[in-house]
Structure 1
Amino acid sequence: MTISCIALFAQEAKGNKYIALKDYRRDVAARDVQRFVDEMLSGRRTGAKGTSQVPPIVHHEGVSYVWKKGDKGSNVLAVAATRWDANVLAMQEMLHQLMDILKMFFPGGNVVTNALALSTNSALKADALRGKPAMVQSILEEAMDFGYPQVTQAESLCELVLDTPSLEGKTVSALDALLRRRKKEGAEDHKTGAPTLDVTGAVPWRKAGIVYKKNEVYLDAIERVSALVGSDGELISGRVNGSIQMKVYLSGMPECKIGLNEKFMMEAESGYQNAASSAMEGRPTNVAQKACRSQVALDYIKFHQAVKLQNYESDHQVHFVPPDGEFELLSYTVSDSRNFTLPFTVTSWYKSLGRTRGELNVKIKADFPSSLVAFQVITWIPLPKSTVKVSMQATGGKTKSKYVDLANNQTHWKLSELRGGKEHKFKAIIEMMAGTELGGTSSGEVWEKKVPPLKLTFQVPMFTSTGLRIRFLKVHERSNYQPVKWVRYLTCAGDDYEVRVKH
């Protein structure tokens, strides 16, 4: 992969404004990038409004451009350009990592909780980048060398681009405090040239000499389920986006090995049923998950760079020397509905009680073992635009009048807890104004012909829809210490978990 230059722009009402540009190979001029942004992304040539209609990879006037917009709430746009026959998907991944790095160095929320963390709710803002142009240029300079990715680890970049005595501000102070945390816990001071060793060494994502008084490993398997469910409770389409997140506080240079029950494992080899419960702290009982199978099928797996892929290809076990702190070990996708199960069966139906009244019913059943409990199960229920009053009742949960939001044409039914195997019902009587729509039909009759779907949000700890399980987690270090291991599972609703309403 060869990148000629990377540019950052601010998305504003008057167009995309230049923030910073780093030219690595001097074969794509800054004016060419600006012309691409003005003509393609700003829509001056295409006439499109915004970037929603422009593909993420564009070949424009002899140059290949890859662009990426910041996460929700961000107004930063990153553009990479090249004249070479480059791997554009690798360029896209580089932009993704660059945006994550910038979000760590320029957090919009609480600095201590956001700095050096992979999961953050703060959005990257253009004003934050404009406030420290020298640091932005330093990150672009150190992240790549002559168009090739060089350093994409936040902790290594901290020592390469941060000059703590000469910089001010709470962001630098927080980063510096996190970098000095090991010294307070007994770590040896880094020697001169450590940043260079971190970049060019065999394990650039982990520093030598880390010491913790208490060695711990936290592993979270998180799955986000997106689905379109019919009114009868049957799955129409869906997918699962999963990831394994880790927090590692281990001394020295440990080697970790994780076994998954994914589809490439032989059933006899997995040994999940015969594994001793004492082999790993945090493992649930064998009835903790109805969907658990000896094998699961994962469509796509993306590994952290620390994973030794050659070992995974040989024994299908994840071998790695972990970075210190928080990181995402791997992510995966399951798009075949036969390879995952939904945690709930939800059915709903609507019937008209007249021109100005209607009744909407919802039934939800938890399809997981009774030893598990789902939390914050909220059903978001649509309402006609002409609704003036809603009367709700349910066999469980909360149906308060304050949940009715007529301004946004919705109400919700909240179950703080729902134990596995339990079933609850909900009924809402909707009263509407007697006004008519075009064509002489009432608002209720129009809404009855096309009822919007319900939306569901939930969290189910110690459950995975795909049946993914951590068969074992082994840690080996030269000093032979025994770390404390914690393994958790969580299934929650994705951005679009919807249930159609029968009418």
Structure 2
Amino acid sequence: MVASAIFILDLKGKVLISRNYRGDIPIRKIEKFMPLVLAAEEEEQTLSPILSTEDGVNFLYVKHNNLYLLAMTKKNSNAVTILLFLHKLIEVFKEYFKVLEEESIRDNFVIIYELLDEMMDFGYPQTTESKILQEYITQESHQMEVQVRPPIAVTNAVSWRSEGIKYRKNEVFLDVIESVNLLVNSNGNVLRSEILGAIKMKCFLSGMPELRLGLNDKVMFETAGKTTSSKSKAIEMEDVKFHQCVRLSRFENNRTISFIPPDGEFELMSYRLSTQVKPLIWTEVIVQTHSGSRIEYQIKAKAQFKRRSTANNVTITVPVPEDADTPKFKCSMGSASYAPEKSAIVWTIKQFQGGKEFILRAHFGLPSVKNEDENQKKPPISVKFEIPYFTTSGIQVRYLKVVEKSGYQAFPWVRYITQNGDYHLRMPESVKTAKLSTI
């Protein structure tokens, strides 16, 4: 991993800030970047985050708002590592400036140069934790009268946590959040389903504690030669990604998640399960058109999860023709409204208990008469929801232990949440012969 130089450009390719770390590539080579981008756009190619010149100069870049953040290298470097560094650079800048855009770059030249010097040395990434950087690089750090001493964490093995942290009450909060991605065709068949999960933590712990987290991980049970009970099941996680604080060697050896956590809020890990997911909130729509003058909808929503669980803030968005007007609604639960900017019915149910089923009937006038194109692509139905104390995958936190040399007692809190991700159901064809009851 070697980056020769880092640049921040505007959308026209003008250099706002640059930092040359190695001096092995002439800075003027940056002038070749925008022509490469424009040439790729003209050829209607899918833009790659890596562009190369004929003389072997590589540009690795990330586009954010109205900026390009770019690394230039001539070595056979690890492209993924460089791109990850650019994303970390964006995170750190957003921590400092809240919004990262051209104006915030122009207003903060001094602090940006100091961050670039601390986060990379001779082309190699160094400290990238914003909380540690904020301890000794502040908005006033350009005043050279006082020599600021970096915290021990910068040279310590645990670079993401400072020493000497103290709390009157030691607590750790753990949230298991799962998002369900689902695509159902117009015939009711599930085309795609997956679960994207994340374990997020808030740690308010004194000293340098070590935490150990145990999950109902299938591989862990198999490694230990244990069997699961009939009530609990083991899950097999894919694409597992950890925060840098996790000791990967221990996880690879015995599937133990052991770590010294950063202070405050962070994401411990993320995972994916490509499993067949039963639609949690099933939606059926019957569309009835009447000779181009009016259109009726019957929308049925059913909660296909256990009765002891409840989905909060459910929003079902059903597309309607762009020229629809004079809406009328009748629903058995919640409230319905017409959103003309979306050309859609928005049905909101504040609390949707498991096993329940509700119906909404809607009627619209169609003032303009036009031939309906059966092949015209219709937007899908989208569903938003959040179900607390529930996980689709069945993941469970078996234990969360806090060990610190002072021996204090810590209070762990665990919460489960399932929510929608890309949750869509395609619209059925309209029915022109059946008759629905009018409102």
- The correspondence for 2:239, drawn from 289, 300, 303, is 300
1:431 to 365, 372, 383: 365
The one-character-per-residue Cα deviations of 1:99-132 (angstroms, maximum 9, x if unpaired) are 1111001113xxxxxxxxxxxxxxx222111101
Which residue in the other structure is 1:119 paired with? none
Q: What is the match of residue 49 of structure 2?
A: 56
- Distance in 1, Cα, partners of 2:202 & 2:226: 25
Alpha-carbon contact 1:384-1:447 (below 8 Å) kept: no
Counterpart in the other structure of 1:115 = none
Deviations 1:403-444 (A, max 9, x none): 3122431220001110111111222222211332xxxx2xxx
Indicate the RMSD between aligned Cα atoms, in angstroms: 2.4
Change (3 A) 1:27 1:194: closer
Correspondence 1:463 to 2:390:
yes
Counterpart of 2:22 in structure 1 is: 25
Q: Is the 8 A contact 2:111 2:141 kept in 1?
A: no
Q: Deviations over 1:330-376 (max 9, x none)?
A: 11223x233x4442222223232322222222222212222211111
Amino acid at match of 1:260: L
Residues 89 and 165 of structure 1, relative CA distance in 2, 3 Å threshold: closer
Residues 459-501 of structure 1 deviation map (CA, whole Å, 9 limit, x = unaligned): 111222222221211111112212111111112222x321112
Q: Give the CA deviation at 1:193.
A: 4.7
The answer (yes or no) to whether the contact 1:239–1:337 under 8 Å persists in 2 is: yes
Tell me the equivalent position of 1:129: 105
Q: Distance in 1 between matches of 2:275 and 2:53?
A: 39
SS of aligned partner of 1:337: coil
Indicate how the Cα distance of structure 1 residues 46 and 75 shifts in structure 2: closer, same or farther if over 3 A, else same: closer
Q: Secondary structure at the match of 1:205?
A: coil
Name the aligned partner's letter for residue 348 of structure 2.
Answer: K
| Partner Cα separation in structure 2 for residue 29 and residue 129 of structure 1 | 24
Give distance in 2, aligned partners of 1:28 and 1:157. Answer: 29
Q: By how many angstroms is 1:447 displaced?
A: 6.5
Match of 2:272 in 1: 333
Aligned to 1:6: 6
**Shift in CA distance, 166/380, structure 1 to aligned 2, threshold 3 Å:** same
1:395 shift after superposition:
1.5
More helix by share: 1
**Relative to 1, partners in 2 of residues 1:261 and 1:233: Cα closer, same or farther, differing over 3 Å?**
farther
Q: Which amino acid aligns with 1:327?
A: F
Query: In structure 2, what is the Cα distance between the partners aligned to 1:393 and 1:446?
Result: 28
What does 1:66-85 correspond to in 2, within 5 Å?
66-70=60-64, 74-85=65-76
Q: What one-letter code is carried by the residue in structure 1 that aligns with 2:258?
A: H
2:398 is the counterpart of 1:480: no
Whether the aligned pair in 2 keeps the contact of 1:233 and 1:345 (CA below 8 Å) is: no
**8 Å CA contact 2:195, 2:275 repeated in 1:** no
Letter in 1 for 2:390: F
Residue in structure 2 matched with residue 150 of structure 1 by the alignment: 126
Q: SS state of the match for residue 110, structure 2?
A: helix
SS in 2 for 1:305: coil
- Equivalent residue of 1:58, what SS? strand
Looking at structure 1, the residues matched to 178 and 196 of structure 2 have their Cα atoms a distance apart, in angstroms, of 6
Identify which of 42, 49, 72 aligns with 1:47. 42
AA matched with 2:275: S
**Contact 2:298–2:361 (Cα < 8 Å) also in 1:** yes
- 1:353 partner amino acid: H
CA contact (8 A) 1:255 1:322 kept: yes
1:224 maps to 179
Corresponding position of 2:163:
208
**Structure 2 residue identity aligned to 1:331:** S
1:198 aligns with 2:153: yes
The 5 Å alignment of 1:354-503 reads: 354-399=291-336, 403-436=337-370, 441=371, 445-446=372-373, 450-494=377-421, 496-503=422-429
Q: TM-score scaled by structure 1?
A: 0.79
Q: Which residue of 1 aligns with 2:436?
A: none
Question: Could you tell me which residue of structure 2 aligns to residue 117 of structure 1?
Answer: none
Residue identity in the other structure for 1:203:
V
Look up the equivalent residue of 1:205 and give its one-letter code. Answer: W
The residue correspondences of 1:89-168 to structure 2 (distance < 5 A) are 89-108=80-99, 124-162=100-138, 164=140
User: 2: distance between equivalents of 1:451 and 1:378?
Assistant: 19
Deviation at 1:164, TM superposition (A): 3.8
- Equivalent position amino acid for 2:242 in 1: F
More strand by share: 2
Partner of 1:180: none
The 1-side partners of 2:101 and 2:70 are apart by 16
Query: Retained in 2: the 8 A contact 1:270–1:471?
Result: no
Distance verdict in 2 for CA 1:387–1:135, change over 3 Å: same
Shift of the alpha carbon at 1:150? 0.4
**Residues 261 and 270 in structure 1, CA contact (< 8 A), matched pair in contact too:** no
Q: Within 1, Cα distance between the matches of 2:24 and 2:227?
A: 56
Deviates more, 1:345-354 or 1:87-96: 345-354
Q: Say if 1:295 and 1:486 are closer, same or farther in 2 by CA, change over 3 A.
A: same
TM-score by length of 2: 0.90
2:223 counterpart of 1:264? no
Question: What per-residue deviation string (whole Å, max 9, x for no partner) do you get for residues 166-222 of structure 1?
Answer: 67xxxxxxxxxxxxxxxxxxxxxxxx8552x21121211111111100000011111
How many residue pairs align between the two structures? 423
